[in-house]
Every structure is written in structure tokens, then in C-alpha cells.
Amino acid sequence: NAGVMQNPRHLVRRRGQEARLRCSPMKGHSHVYWYRQLPEEGLKFMVYLQKENIIDESGMPKERFSAEFPKEGPSILRIQQVVRGDSAAYFCASSLGGAQNSPLHFGNGTRLTVT
């Protein structure tokens, strides 16, 4: 049973370009969470999605960032017009349900570097 798959593992973008980060949750999981980890810091919550719905996006910057989790296919975190401050590791996690006893499984992250 494959775990949470994130790709690419590393992504390099120039300032002003778009970055698309993909996350395939564990099989059967319908809840997806995105976190950002800046260098030397802990993970910060960005957005919580269920299939076709954004449940909580309170941690996501209001501009340039968007996330989706379509009925078919992976969840996508999209960053438009990237700036150097967007350089970070972006982690996706999934759970079977939204209940508190539903364990969270993390992917290995995508490291975004903006040059």
C-alpha cells in the first residue's frame, strides 16, 4: 500500500514563474492537508481539503496561492508569480477521515527553490 506521494521532490523556479506541487493521498484517503516548512522552522498549516471542497484555508496566503483536490486525480498546490520568500519545503498529509482518531500520514515533501 503506497504512502502519500508527492512530486516533484525538488522544484526550481525563477521569480515570477508558477509552481505546481502535486500530492496523491494514500489509497482510500479523502482528506488532504498542506503544510509549509521554512528553513530552520516547524511545519505551518496552510490548507485542509476534502474531495472537491476546501474545508479550512486559514493558513494560506490570500494572494498567489491556491489549492484544489478534484474528484479524480491528485491534490494540487499552486503558487503563482513565485518570490524568493516562497522557497520552502511543502508537505502534504492525508487521512482516512476527518475525525481526531484518524491518523495523519505525511509525504516526503517538495522542496521549492526560487532563484
Partner 1 sequence: AQTVTQSQPEMSVQEAETVTLSCTYDTSESDYYLFWYKQPPSRQMILVIRQEAYKQQNATENRFSVNFQKAAKSFSLKISDSQLGDAAMYFCAYRSGQETSGSRLTFGEGTQLTVNP
CB of 14 vs partner 1, minimal distance in Å: 23
Question: Nearest distance from residue 36's CB to partner 1, in Å?
Answer: 11
110-114 vs 75-79, strand pairing mode: unpaired
Report residue 84: phi and psi, to 5°: -60, -35
**CA 91 – CA 96 distance, rounded (Å):** 17
Nearer to partner 1, 14 or 103 (CB): 103
Q: What SS3 class is residue 84?
A: helix
In this complex, which beta carbon is closest to partner 1, that of residue 14 or of residue 101? Answer: 101
Binding site for partner 1 (CB under 8 A): 31, 33, 35, 41-45, 48, 55-56, 89, 91, 93, 95, 98-100, 102-104, 106, 108-109, 111
Instruction: Indicate the residue among 8 and 98 with the shorter CB distance to partner 1.
Output: 98
Is residue 9 within 8 Å of 31, Cβ to Cβ? no
